[in-house]
Chains A and B, each alone.
Chain A
């Protein structure tokens, strides 16, 4: 019953998001037909305008067009890109693995490294690990991802040539994934450390120390679980950030993911692509929400009873 309710809420949210997005996208200034006429040097006559409007499904009322789009969307027909002429669904299916690889890899790497970094920070506050943690947080919070990417590209790729960020193979993903991971790592490690320190002030922690456990053992045995729980909860908020960051990395490193496709489509007012992107992002957020929720229930079974 609970699952059904969640599914119903998710579908309702998707429908509302799609309607709002469709309205905004179709009302954006600049007509895609006029942009295409200018870009492709087409004759700006009525016949061309009418032909393109009809070909791209831009005729009819907003409501009718929305229903037509919605019907197609649920059947896997996401329309065709005005700009490339290719099926948007196929295009997204080709590009989505690249975006997901970037997003998931960044999050997973950050998660993996956040635990030891956060742990050693909590073990010795103001120690080397803690200072590194603070330094990383300050760096990623003050330098935008795009600028950090440019600097690392120039330094590691162009100047020292230690990496091949534009190679036509998988090594092109190394630097963007590291940059994405760094931001989340700083955030996650602070969360993990903070929760451990908080837990270490509780009476049960002192009891553990009194029983003869070292601080390291006590932290691992009695605070790790709750800190991990806080860490998993933090993934939810990072999931939104990852979308924007993926877009930045795809443009900067010339990776053909969905965000790069979006950026190229905005200028052409490629409405089907913009709409599909909004829906994919909404689905991503719902999926991440579901995954995080499930993980939290696994870590804290008492949640199920509530």
Chain B
């Protein structure tokens, strides 16, 4: 009996606890953001901008800024800088905007930024990938001389790269930023609390923000549906249409710079024959992929259509051309519908990594290739390095931000140049390399766009890659943020114009 009395008492305590815990919290509500990525900081008190991908996250969440940035149309624009002048091959003078302040109220000066950039160059290897080691000298309060190790024709793009976040270092080594928000609290993999930076214009109109990292996108979607989030950034494509049907929820989609591409291994027989790669490219029906994904555009090339340097025409589907190319290459259809040559079946292996939209495309790609007599197997890997380390893969389906700095040179150089680290197709073309070599000598934006289009034409011809879809991403908004317009992929999630009003 004593046990049952005790049981009654414990039950009462739990009921009281439940009532207490479930009571709504009355406090000034900050903007609640859910996201699936958050800075991986080494030091929670300082969010060291030289570690991991912190520079990226800090800019994306409005804490930091760059000298240059890209706008919603994908164009390079000055941010903290007002102009960049090339003095000679290796020397530039950057002029800063006046009346800009760090979050501690001190003015943004060339000397303060120079110390920050020098710290970045010393500690972040990726910062030197475009221009080699950079050195900085403050000429006066607003003019900064930048000396590069190798010629950089468009330094504006270099200063829009995420590792080149602008900050100053305090005597204690803490980084102070210039963005519309400042960090109040941070816990890696958990949350980031922000407050308005009072030294940034319009601070009085800006609410505090709590960003919570969700390991599972479905959980984030449910949190949004439960009314616990004002902004759910990147909802899964498969549930966005269902949520859109709910009149109480505001779902917006926006085009992103991440392009879905299928790299075809150019060294693996029989697909070392360009006719077979061209056949694959022609056989893929991008409209079907888009219908399955619930949104997006047919890819025109390596870049999202909103970039000025993207190719203009959507990539075509032409089954008759695909069949003719395969016939010409000697691969003939058998009774089972699969093509053979010298008794060998035309088979290939398509691989991708753990991303739901890419995985969802695999069965469709397989079916589309089967229409022209190519038998495809599919395999999902945990990550891209695992795919790279595996032999025998013919096609790798990836998503890649191809113009993170608003300049086309990066992707051409890192993914298609002979021997490049991310050249998943093992593509080697002296002619293509010669085209993209021109990026090194031209600083004119229109000229660079022409080079990019020329390079894409060459890729269309050689088909080391089949450009599939320019996708859209989805965000969920509460009525409070109904004016929020997402753009800039995951590089500009929180901006000064959060759109609260």
Contact = CB atoms under 8 A, between A and B. Distances in A.
Contacts of B384: 38
Contacts, number: 140
Interface string B208-232: 0010111110111011011111000
B385 A166 contact: no
* Residue from A31, A44, A85, A251 having most chain B Cβ neighbours under 10 A: A85
A170 B215 CA distance: 19
Interface residues of B, number: 56
Interface string A88-100: 0001001000000
B41 A85 contact: yes
Secondary structure at chain A's binding surface: helix, strand, loop or mixed?
A: helix
Interface string B173-197: 0000000000000011111000000
A267 B44 contact: no
Contact of B22 (A38, A171, A253): A171
Contacts of B226: 153, 157-158, 161, 164-166
Given A115-B3, A169-B21, A256 B187 contact: yes
Contacts of A150: 218, 222
Given A43-B421, A263-B215, A267-B383, A254 B223 contact: yes
Interface stretch (B7-15, B436-444, B451-459): B7-15
Nearest to B129: A43
A254 B189 contact: no
A89 to B, nearest CB: 15
Given A40-B53, A44-B421, A86-B42, A157 B222 contact: yes
A117 B387 CA distance: 53
B53 A164 contact: no
B327 to A, nearest CB: 39
B126 A42 contact: yes
A167 B215 contact: no
B392 interface: no
Interface residues of A, number: 57
Nearest to A169: B25
Contact of A154 (B44, B188, B213, B225): B225
Nearest to A119: B4
Interface of B: 1, 3-4, 7, 10-11, 14, 18, 21-25, 32, 40-44, 51-53, 125-126, 129, 187-191, 210, 212-216, 218-220, 222-223, 225-229, 354, 382-386, 388-389, 421-422
5 contacts: A38-B383, A112-B7, A115-B4, A170-B21, A254-B216
Given A115-B7, A153-B226, 20 more contacts: A29-B389, A34-B389, A84-B42, A84-B189, A153-B219, A157-B222, A165-B226, A165-B228, A166-B212, A166-B223, A167-B25, A167-B228, A171-B23, A174-B18, A174-B21, A220-B1, A224-B3, A252-B216, A252-B219, A254-B216
